[in-house]
Structure 1
Amino acid sequence: MSRYQRTHDGSEQKTTTLELFYDLVFVFAITQVSHFLLEHLTWQGAGQAALVLLVVWWSWNYTTWVTNELDPEAIAVRLLLIGLMLASFLMAIAIPEAFGDRALLFAGAYVTIQIGRHTFLTFVAAGPGTVERERSKRILIWFVVAAVFWIAGGLADGSLRTALWLIGLAIDYGGPLCTFWVPGMKRIPPSAWELEVSHFAERFQLFVILALGESIVVTGATASKEDLSAERLASFAVAFLGTAAMWWVYFNAAAAVAQRRLELATNRTTLARDGYTYLHVLMVAGIIVSAVGDELVIAHPGEVLHGAEVVAVVAGPAIYLLALVLFRLRMAGTLSVKRTLGAAGCIVAGFVGTTVSALALGALVVAILVAVITAETVTGAHRRARGEPSPLEAVG
C-alpha cells in the first residue's frame, strides 16, 4: 500500500478543494485550445488542435487516476499537485504557439508533468515491493520512452515535429491498452488498480462541466465585444441554449447510469479506462468545437457561413452526441438510436448551412438537440406509465 493512500472507511469520496483548484488551470487550457482552433480553422489546424487537446487531456486524466488513490490532504501530495498545476499552466500558455516558437515549452512542460508525477509515485509514494510501485514503474518507463519523441519534436520543425509528436502520442495512449506491458517484466493485471467509483466518476463529470463552462465564457466574451442588435441577442440565446442542451443530454441519465454500472462491474478498471479515459475526451472535443461554432454564429448572425465555418457549427454537437452513443455502448452495451439520429441530423444540417444565415443554422442545430431531449423524455414518461423501471433503476 502507498504511504499516501486514501483511507477507505466505506464512505463515498468527494472531490476536494485542492482538486477543484487544480482544475482551474484546465479551464484556461480548454479556452486556449478553443481559440487555437478558431484562429486555425482549416483541416490542418483542426488536426493540430486535436493533438493539443489530447495532450491536455492526458495530463489531466492521469492526475485524476492518481488522486483517486492518493490522499490530497497529505502535504507531499498537495505539493505534487501544486507543482503539476504550475507545469500545466506553462503548457497551457504555450498552446497558441505549440507548433511554432513555443513547441519546446509545450512538450517540455507535458513531459515534466508525466514523468514528474510518476517519479513521485514510484520512488516517494509507493514502498519497495508494493504493487503500487510496480505499476508506477511500468508507466514511468512508457512515459520516458514517449518523452524522447516529445522533446525531439519540440526541437524539430514542420512535418517532422508533427510526426514525432504523433509517435509520442501513440505511445502515451497505447500504454493503458496493454496495461503498460514492458518486455522482461511480469505483466500486471488491470485489477491491480484500485478505483473509488464515486470520486472517479465525479471528477470526469466535473471536467464536462468545466468544458461547458468554457463554452459559456466564450459565448459571453464574444457577445460582449459586439453591438447587441436583436439578431445578435438571438444568436447569443441560441448559443446558450445549445450549451444547456448538451448539459441536459449528459446529466439527464447517462452520467448516473454509467456510474452505477461502473460500481457493479467486475472489470471495473478496464471499463473506467474505456468509458472515461478514452471516450470522455471525445465529448470534450465536441464541446470545444461547439464553442467555436457559437463564436462564429454570434459574430456573424445574419451572414451565410461557408466551408470550415459551417463544419464547426454542426460538427461540435455531432461529435458530442456520437461520443455519448459510444459511451453508452461501452458502459451499458446498448445503442442509443435517438442520439445517433441526432448526430446524423446535425451532419445533414451542414448541407443546408451554406444556404441559410448563421443564426438559422445555429437554431437548427439547437432544435435537433432539443428534439433528442424531448424524444428521450417522452420515452421515459411512457416507460413510467407502463410501470417499467427507469434506466438507473434497471441497473440494480
Structure 2
Amino acid sequence: MAAEENLVVTAGKPWSRGAALRDPDEEHRASTPLELFFDLCFVVAVSQLTGRLEHAYATGHIGTGMQGFAMLLFAVWWAWMNFTWFASAHDSDDVPYRLLTLLQMAGVLILAAGVDAAFDGQTYRVVVAGYVVMRVALIVQWLRVAAHQPSVRTRARRYAIGVGVVQLLWIGAAIPDSITLFKALFLPLMLIEILVPIWAEQAEAPGLMWHAEHIAERYGLFALIILGESVLAATVAVNDATEGGVTAPVVTVAGGGLLVAFSCWWLYFDTLGGDGPDSQTRAFTWGYGHYVVFGALAAVGGGIATAAAAVAAHGPEHGIPDRTAALAVTVPLAVFLVAVGVISLRPKDPCGPERLVRWAIAAAALVLAGFVLPPAPATAVAGGVAALLVAVETVAAHRRYRAQTDTGRIRAAG
C-alpha cells in the first residue's frame, strides 16, 4: 500500500490532503475532538425524541408515539453510525473533511427542529430535509475516497451511488406531504438503507477497513450520551414532581431510576464496551444491533420521567395510567438486556449463552412487574433487578478470573 494512502493527522499539512485510508491496526486510536463535537449535536435530537416519547405516554398516544420514536431514532442513529464507520476508515481531518462534517452537524439540527411537527402528525418534510443534508455530505465524502484511494474505489462508488439513490427515494416519499403515505414507505426505504452497506462491503477491499477499538469507543460514547439524556429527563421530571412536596413514591422513582441508569452503564461497558467487531459478519450484527440498544436506553429515560410524572399526577386530566407508567420503565429495560445479551454472543465465548438466558429471565420478570405493580414499586424492582444482574455478572467475572489464574499457575508449575 502506498505511503500516501496511510496519511495520519499531523500538524503543518496542506489544507486538503485528499481522502485517507487509515490503518485498522493503528495504536492508541481514539475519538477525535471533531467526533466528540459531532456527537454533541446528536444530544439535541435524542433529547427531543425522549421528550416527545414521554409526552406520548402522558397523553395516551402510546402506539403513535412509539412508532414516531422508532422512525426518527432510526434517522438519527443511521446518520450517526454511517459517519462513525466512515471516519474510522477514512478520517483525513483536512479542511474539506471538517467542512463536510459541519454540514452533517447542520443536518442533524435541522432534523431535530422537525421532530415536533413529525410527532404531531403535521409533516415529515423538515425531518427528511435534515436527514438528506447529512447524507449528501457523506456522499461527497465517499466520492473523495473514490477519487483518492484506487484500492477501495469500487466500494466507495457503491456507497455513493447507493446512498444517493435512497436519498432521492426519501425526497420522493416526502414531496406529497402525506403522513399516511410516508409511514407506509418508511419501512421499505429503511430496509434499502440497511442493504446499501451490505452491498458496498462486498466490493473488493484490502481486508477489514475499520479500527475495532475505535468503533467500540465511538459506540460507547454514544451510549453515554443517551444515558446522560435519560438521567437529565428523569431529573427534570423528578424536579417537577417534587413541586408539591417530597413524597415516598417520588423518592422511590428517583432512586430506582438512578440505579437503573447506573446498572445499564455497568452492564453495557462490561459486556460490549471493549468488544469491537473483529469480522465482517460481526460488524453488521454488532453495528446494526445497537439500534435496539440505543433505542431502549433512550426509552428508559422517557419511562423514568413518565413514572415520576405519574406518581405526582402530572399526566392529563385523570393522570397517567399506572400500568402505562410502570411498563414505560420495565419494558425498555427488558429490551435493553435482551439486545445487549444477543449482541454479546460470540462463537468462542462459552459464557455468552448462559448470560443471555439469565438476562432473558430477568427481562421477563421486568415485564411482569410492569403489569402488576404501580409505577414507583415497578421502578424500584427495575433498579433492583438490574443491580442484581450487575452483582451476578461481577461475581461470575471474578470466578472466571480466578479459574484462569489458577490454571496459569498449574501450567507454570508443571
TM-score range, shorter chain: 0.7 to 0.9
Is 1:247 the counterpart of 2:261 in the alignment?
Answer: no
C-alpha deviation, 1:195, in angstroms:
1.3
TM-score calculated relative to the size of structure 2:
0.82
Q: Which range moved further: 132-141 or 22-31?
A: 132-141
Aligned match of 1:318:
334
Structure 1 residues 128 and 162, CA, compared in 2 at 3 Å: closer, same or farther?
A: same
Q: What pairs with 1:373-388 in structure 2 (closer than 5 Å)?
A: 373-388=390-405
Which whole-Å CA distance do the structure 1 matches of 2:205 and 2:344 have between them?
Answer: 21
Determine if the alignment matches structure 1 residue 238 to structure 2 residue 248.
no
The CA deviation at 1:209 is 0.9
Alignment equivalent of 1:218, drawn from 224, 233, 241: 233
Check conservation: 1:152, 1:161, Cα contact below 8 A: no
In structure 2, C-alpha distance between the alignment counterparts of 1:38 and 1:90, rounded to whole Å:
22
Q: 1:375 to 1:138 in 2, by over 3 A?
A: same
Return the letter of the residue paired with 1:27. Answer: V
From 286, 289, 293, give the equivalent of 2:299.
Answer: 289
Which residue in 2 is equivalent to 1:394? none
Query: Is residue 101 from structure 1 mapped to residue 122 from structure 2 by the alignment?
Result: yes
Partner of 2:51: 35
Contact 1:104 1:154 in 2 (8 A): yes
Which stretch shifts more, 327-336 or 41-50?
Answer: 327-336
Q: Which residue of 2 aligns with 1:208?
A: 223
In the TM superposition, residue 253 of structure 1 has moved relative to its aligned partner by 4.2
CA contact (8 A) 2:334 2:367 kept: no
Contact 2:31–2:214 (CA under 8 A) maintained in structure 1: yes
The residue type equivalent to 2:225 in the other structure is L
Q: Deviations over 1:186-233 (max 9, x none)?
A: x50465551122222211111111111111111112122232514223
Q: Mean alpha-carbon deviation: is it higher for 343-352 or for 206-215?
A: 343-352
The amino acid that maps onto 2:211 is: E
Assess, with a 3 A threshold, how the Cα gap between structure 1 residues 346 and 326 changes in structure 2: closer, same or farther. closer
How far 1:299 sits from its partner (Å)? 1.8
Q: Which moved more, 1:153-162 or 1:211-220?
A: 153-162
CA–CA distance in 2 between the matches of 1:230 and 1:320?
A: 29
Query: Distance between the aligned counterparts of 1:295 and 1:343, measured in 2?
Result: 25
CA–CA separation in structure 2 for the residues paired with 1:135 and 1:366: 46
Whether 1:138 aligns to 2:154 is no
Tell me if the contact between 1:146 and 1:168 (Cα under 8 Å) persists in the aligned partners.
yes
Deviates more, 1:352-361 or 1:154-163: 352-361
Aligned counterparts, 1:345-384, within 5 A: 345-384=362-401
- Code of the residue aligned with 2:203 in structure 1: it is I
Is 1:60 matched up with 2:80? Answer: yes
Matching residue within 75, 79, 87 for 2:95:
75
Count residues in correspondence. 375
Structure number with bigger Rg: 2
Which among 197, 217, 225 is matched to residue 212 of structure 2? 197
- Shift of the 280–114 alpha-carbon distance from structure 1 to 2, 3 Å rule, reads same
- Is the 2:259–2:384 contact (alpha carbons within 8 Å) kept by the matching residues of 1? no
Q: Is residue 33–residue 53 contact of structure 1 (8 Å, CA) maintained in 2?
A: yes
- Find the aligned partners of 2:402 and 2:80 in 1 and give their Cα distance: 43
**Residue equivalent to 1:393:** none
Query: What does 1:140-179 correspond to in 2, within 5 Å?
Result: 140-156=160-176, 157-179=178-200
Flag the 1:331–1:15 CA change in 2: closer, same or farther, 3 A.
farther
Alignment CA distance shift 1:218-1:356 (3 Å): same
Deviations 1:365-393 (A, max 9, x none): 11111111111122223334434589xxx
SS at match of 2:241: coil
Percent identity between matched residues is 22
Among candidates 118, 138, 155, match of residue 117 of structure 1:
138
How far residue 68 of structure 1 moved from its aligned partner, in angstroms, is 1.0
**CA distance, structure 2, for counterparts of residue 284 and residue 7 of structure 1:** 27
The DSSP-based 3-state class of the residue aligned with 2:394 is: helix
Q: Name structure 2 gaps, 5 residues minimum.
A: 7-17, 314-319, 408-414
Change in CA separation of 1:80 and 1:52 when aligned onto 2, cut-off 3 Å? same
The 3 A distance-change label for structure 1 pair 31 and 96 is same
Secondary structure of residue in 1 paired with 2:114: helix
Give the structure 1 partner of residue 108 of structure 2.
88
Report the Cα offset of residue 128 of structure 1. 6.2
Scaled by the length of structure 1, what TM-score is found?
A: 0.86
CA distance in 1, matches of 2:228, 2:256: 16
Deviations 1:283-324 (A, max 9, x none): 111101111111122222377944443332111111111111
For residue 355 of structure 1, report the CA deviation from its aligned partner: 4.1
Paired with 2:346 and 2:402, the residues of 1 have a C-alpha distance of: 28
Classify the secondary structure of the residue corresponding to 1:164.
Answer: helix
Contact kept, 8 Å, 2:272 with 2:344, in 1: the verdict is: yes
- Give me the whole-angstrom Cα distance separating, in 2, the residues matched to 1:129 and 1:254: 32
| Residue identity matched to 1:316 | P
Change (3 A) 1:71 1:345: closer
